Amino acid sequence: MKPIIPDKSGDFKNMCDLLSVFSEGTAQLRAMQGEMDSMFLSLVDDKKGEYATLQKAVTESETALEVIARRHPEWFAEKRSIKTPFGTVKFARSTVLEIKNEELTIELVRGVLVSESQDPAATEAQFIREVEELDREALEKLDDDTLKSLKVKRVAKDNFSVTAASVDLGKAVKEAAVKESEVAA
C-alpha cells in the first residue's frame, strides 16, 4: 500500500470540509423536499372538494355559455367575439381532415403524390408516418381538389371558447403612464 503523502497546502482538508458541507446540504435539501411534498399533498387533500366543486361549476358554465352563444349566431355576425367585464366568449373557425379509410388514402398518397409527382420534395415520409398513419398536418397544406383525389374531406368547424376576466397589469401600467404624462403636459 502506498503511504499517504501529507498535504502541506491544506487543500485536502479544505476539500473534505467542502464535501461535508455539500453532503450535509444535499441531505437537508432532500429532507426539505420530502417535507414540502407532504405539506403540498396535505394542502391538496384539504382543497380537493372545493376544487372539484369549482371545476364542475366552470365546466357547466362553459357548456351553458356555448349553448346560449350557438342559439344566437346574430351576436357573432360582425365580430367573432363578445367581450364583457365578466369575460369573453368567442368563436374561432378551424378545419379538420376527415379520412374515412386511412389505408386507402395511404395507398393513394403513394400513387398520386409520391409516384406520379415531379416534385422531388413530395416524398413518402412527408405525408406518411413510420407507423403507417397519415400525417394530417402535412395533408392540411394540400388543396381541396388534391384532398378529394385522396378521398379526404376538409370539414369546417366552429370552435367555442370562454376566457375569464382578468386585469392586464402591463396594460394598466402603460395606461397609467400615458395619463400621468397627459396630466403633466
97, 147 in Cβ contact below 8 A? Answer: yes
Alpha-carbon distance 161 to 89, whole Å?
6
Domain boundaries, the chain: 20-49, 93-157
- pLDDT tens per residue, the chain (185 residues)? 566 667 778 888 888 889 989 998 998 998 999 999 888 888 888 888 998 999 999 999 999 999 999 999 999 999 999 999 899 999 999 999 999 999 999 888 888 877 776 666 667 778 887 778 899 999 999 999 999 999 999 999 988 887 776 656 566 666 667 777 777 77
Q: For residue 60, how many other CB atoms are within 10 A of its CB?
A: 10
Mapped onto helix, strand or coil, the DSSP state of residue 77 is coil
User: What residues contact 66, with CB distance under 8 A and at least 6 apart?
Assistant: 160, 162
